[in-house]
Structure formats: structure tokens, C-alpha cells
Amino acid sequence: MRQIKILADERSAEALSDMLMDAGALSASIEDADAESTDEKPLYGEPGLEPDNCAWPRSIVSILADDDFDAETAVAVAVKALGCDAPEFLGSETVEDADWVRITQAQFQPTQVSDRLWIVPTWHDLPDENAINLRLDPGVAFGTGSHPTTHLCLQWLDAHVGAQDRVLDYGCGTGILAIAAKLVGAAEVLGTDIDPQAVEAACDNAVMNGVDARFVLPDDMPEGTFDIVVANILANPLKILAPALLGRVKPHGTLVLSGVLAAQADDVIAAYRAVDPSVPLAVWRQEGDWVCIAGRRA
């Protein structure tokens, strides 16, 4: 089996992937060629703002194919059919057969969030049976507890959630933040995401953890405000969402934001101050290059 990578633009990446799959590739994926650089272009969407293409200005299309797959011919046929520029071949390498399930599982180990909170994949034994253990497996939605942004939000929730708090997890992904908030004592939790698969996954994870948590699409969001609103997304969509998120924070409630690089923190804080200065945001904690921002409404 071989892994073949080509560099395509955002106009052709998705269509090329589809046509290479039709030509016999076993799998195809698209990633940002400029990821983790200053040229990175995050993709995100809210109702009415969804991206037209799930690709980046410089997209790497990676395919897995059998050794006899003629990638050059397949790409040439696709380029002719699509009328697009020929992509650049970045290389090909042999991929040995392996137990991919075991290898994938080995990448996700139990994560200790605090003295009392652990995130534990279902295939692992509990490191501490007396701890609060949130069972979660990687899947179609973002949020396994290992990324610094999720880790920071979990730490904040563990340190601040009270027994009377109503918590909104905006952009819930797997539901990890809402479920954790319930496990550490929140009275009520609600999560929302624009991705129906994420909402479904979050509901399943809540059931697996035995917690009463509700997850809905944005159009099904009930009216009302919350004691804690947490959003772990990315800096640019967080700035766009400032009015919506601030509007969900009750008097004396708290807004918690993550998915923000330390270098972006001042810009995000300024965007929220411009919308509503009654919620004075500040960096709560930093982990690596990432920060968690929080503020309490006056």
C-alpha cells in the first residue's frame, strides 16, 4: 500500500479527492498545507456562514492506494475532467500493513486534567477509580481532552463550576466540556454545534457517562441565559460570535473562551470589549502557545 500526497488549491482539492476515490484510491483526506504557520487559514462555519469548500488555499490531498494504483494517470484524467490546474506531486511512500485500530488507540492515553478529573478512553482501565472519570473515545467530532485548548477549559470548569450553575457549551463537538461540567457538579448543561454528527456523538457520550445533558443544533437552541458560557473554537469565529455568546451570559455570569493563541488574546479581548464592556475578559491561564480567556459580567 502507498500513501501519495499532492498539493492542490481550494477550488480543486475536494473534487480531486472524490475523483481519485472513484478511480480506485482506498481513502482520501485533505489538510491545510500551511497548518501551524502564520499562513494557516482556519475553516469554520456558523448558520449562514458555512464555507463553500472544505479545503484551504494550499491543500494537501493525501490518498492511500494499492501498490498498482496509477496515481499519475488518475490525476491527469481528473485534471482534464475538472478543467483545473495540474496539482504538484509531493511524494509517495510505502505504508506497511498494520493493526490500525491498535495503533490509533495507542495514541490516546488517559489524560489527567486535575487532581480529581480524568479523561479516559473506553479501552483503558481507570487510572484512579476514585477520581471523576469521563469516558471518551476519539471520533467524528473534535474534543478528546488532550489538546491544550480543551485541557484549559476543563481545568477552568473543574475549578469554578458550582452546584447551581447552568452551563452552555457552544461548539460542543464531542460534548466533553458539557459532560465534564455536569460531572463536576453543574445543575444543568446544554451543548450546541452546527454539525449534526457532533450533536449525535455528544448525546451518545452523555449516555455513556450516565449524565443528564442536552445537545442540540443551533436552530433548536432554547431562549435564555446561562451562569457559564464556554466556547472552545478558534480566534476568528470567536470574534464573529461575540454578540451571540455575550447575549447568552446572565447577569453575574461568566464567559470562558479558548482555541486562542497567546498572540491572539488581546485582539479577541478587544473584540468582546467593543461589543459589551460589562464582561471584562482576561487571560486566565496559558498552556504552551494557547490561552484560556475568562470574565465575569458585572
Span 124-150, pLDDT tens digits: 899 999 999 999 987 755 677 778 999
The arithmetic mean of pLDDT across residues 52-56, rounded, is 64
Q: Residues 278-288: pLDDT tens digits?
A: 999 999 999 98
Residue 251 forms part of a structural domain: yes
Tell me if 133 sits within 8 A of 150, measured CB to CB. Answer: no
Q: Residues 157-201: pLDDT tens digits?
A: 999 999 999 999 999 999 999 999 999 999 999 999 999 999 999
E runs forming strands in the chain: 2-8, 27-32, 59-65, 88-94, 111-112, 117-120, 132-135, 166-170, 188-192, 214-216, 226-232, 249-261, 282-287, 290-296
- Shared domain for 120 and 90, answered yes or no, is no
- Residue 46's pLDDT is 47
User: Among 30, 65, 97, where does a domain finish?
Assistant: 97
State whether residue 287 is helix, strand or coil.
strand
Q: Which residue has the higher pLDDT, 38 or 283?
A: 283
- Shared domain for 116 and 252, answered yes or no, is yes
DSSP string, 16-70: HHHHHHHTT-SEEEEEETTTTSTT-------TT---S-SS-SSEEEEEEE-TT--
Of 71-75, 99-103, 210-214, which range is least confident?
Answer: 99-103
Cα dihedral across residues 74, 77, 82, 83: positive or negative: positive
Tell me if 168 sits within 8 A of 226, measured CB to CB. Answer: yes
Task: Give me the chain's average pLDDT, please.
Answer: 90
User: Is pLDDT of 40 > 90?
Assistant: no
- Shared domain for 51 and 193, answered yes or no, is no
- Shared domain for 205 and 154, answered yes or no, is yes
Range of the domain at 14: 2-97
User: Is pLDDT of 99 > 80?
Assistant: no
Total length of the chain: 298
Cα-to-chain-centroid distance, residue 80: 35
- Shared domain for 247 and 204, answered yes or no, is yes
- Shared domain for 154 and 273, answered yes or no, is yes
What percent of the chain has a predicted confidence (pLDDT) above 70?
91
- Residue 141's pLDDT is 58
Cα-to-chain-centroid distance, residue 204: 17
Residue 40 forms part of a structural domain: yes
The arithmetic mean of pLDDT across residues 48-52, rounded, is 51
User: Is pLDDT of 100 > 90?
Assistant: no
Cα(117)–Cα(155) distance, integer angstroms = 9
Cα(67)–Cα(62) distance, integer angstroms = 15
Rg (CA), the chain: 21
Residue type, 3: Q
- Residue 41's pLDDT is 67
Q: Which residue has the higher pLDDT, 48 or 118?
A: 118
- Residue 146's pLDDT is 78
- Residue 53's pLDDT is 55
Cα(31)–Cα(44) distance, integer angstroms = 14
- Shared domain for 191 and 274, answered yes or no, is yes
Max mean pLDDT among 41-55, 105-119, 155-169 falls in 155-169
Instruction: State the alpha helices, DSSP H only, in 141-175.
Output: 148-160
CATH number, domain at 142? 3.40.50.150
Residues 6 or more apart whose CB falls under 8 angstroms from that of 174 comprise 136, 139, 141, 142, 143, 144, 198, 201, 202, 205
User: Among 73, 97, 121, where does a domain finish?
Assistant: 97
Residue 25 half-sphere exposure toward CB, CA atoms < 13 A: 24
- Residue 25's pLDDT is 92
The arithmetic mean of pLDDT across residues 85-96, rounded, is 91
Of 33-37, 201-205, 247-251, 282-286, which range is least confident?
Answer: 33-37
- Residue 129's pLDDT is 94
pTM of the model: 0.71
